[in-house]
Amino acid sequence: MEAAVSPLQNRWTLRDFITLAIFNVVMLIIMTICPIFTFASYLVVGGITALLNAPLYVVMSNKINKRGVLFFTSVITGLYFIAYGYAYFLLVLACMGIVGELVLWGKDGYKNPVRNAIAYALFYVGYSLCAIVPLIFFRDAYIATLSKSYSKAAMDKMLYYYSTPSMAITMLAISAAGGLLGCLIGNVLFKKHVKKAKLA
């Protein structure tokens, strides 16, 4: 049976908050740059973002190793996208953050590479869902906002990817795969460089 986690072990220190903030700044910069991969396909953006951010997440979560790392990361990401005017990102990402935390529940959840990878992949499934959720709940308002920066042809192409169920499922699957693969690579790099140098 899994041992209970002592409250002291899970108490966040100021050092943890600073680590979380600095790593999140880098992850947000990468998240902002990654949409450039739409030139390849809309389907791969979430997956590539997950793949690139994974080493940072693996090191951050192993370094902090306290309940709430993924949830706080989700909330910070959601708040960042509010500044772009996309308030629903916070809701979707916070929900996925809670689901991720449930996956990581228990002792040393963040040190377990498999559970950590699943939770991280779920977070990026949520990130990709952020493009689909507004089309389900506030389709007209969302299309009106997008129409200011898209031509009719580009809009139709984008709607084809985001509102066709098979395409949406493929996109979510690619995001999950990117997250899992990224965590796998992240863990290899973590053991090869960070752990060996006793940095975390």
Partner 1 sequence: MRKPGPKTHLSVLLLATILTILIKEEWQVHMMVALSVVYLVLNHLSRKVMPFILVYVMSLVIAYIMPQMLGTMKLVFYSFARMMPLVMIGATLMYSPPGSLMCVLERMAVPRPITVMICVLLRFFPVVIMEMQAIRDGIRARGIFPHWYSALLHPAMAYECYFMPLVVRCLKLSAELASSAELRGIESKCSRTSIYPYHFKSVDAVALLIYIIAGTAIYGGGIIR
- Tokens, residue 109: 């959840």
Whether residue 171 contacts residue 43, with contact meaning beta carbons closer than 8 Å, is answered with yes
Of the candidates 44, 77, 71, the residue with the CA atom closest to the CA atom of residue 170: 44
The residue count for binding partner 1 (CB under 8 A) is 52
Q: Measuring CA to CA, how many Å separate 180 from each of 43, 177, 186?
A: 16, 5, 10
Interaction between residue 169 and partner 1 (CB under 8 A): no
Query: Which one, of 71, 116, 68, 111, lies nearest residue 95 by Cα?
Result: 71
Site for partner 1 in 127-166 (CB under 8 A): 144-146, 148-151, 153-154, 157-158
Q: Is 26 in the site for partner 1 (CB under 8 A)?
A: yes
**Residue placing its CB nearer to partner 1 in the complex, 22 or 114:** 22
**At closest approach, how far in Å is the CB of 173 from partner 1?**
18
Q: Which of 76, 90, 176, 183 binds partner 1 (CB under 8 A)?
A: 76
Q: To the nearest 10°, the Cα dihedral for 61, 62, 63, 65? A: 70
Q: How far is the CB of 64 from partner 1 (least distance, A)?
A: 10
Question: Residue 103's Cα: distance from chain center in Å?
Answer: 14
Applying CB under 8 A, the residues found at the interface with partner 1 are 12, 14-15, 17-26, 29, 32, 35-36, 38-39, 42, 45, 52, 55-56, 59-60, 63, 76, 82-87, 144-146, 148-151, 153-154, 157-158, 185, 189, 193-194, 197, 199-200
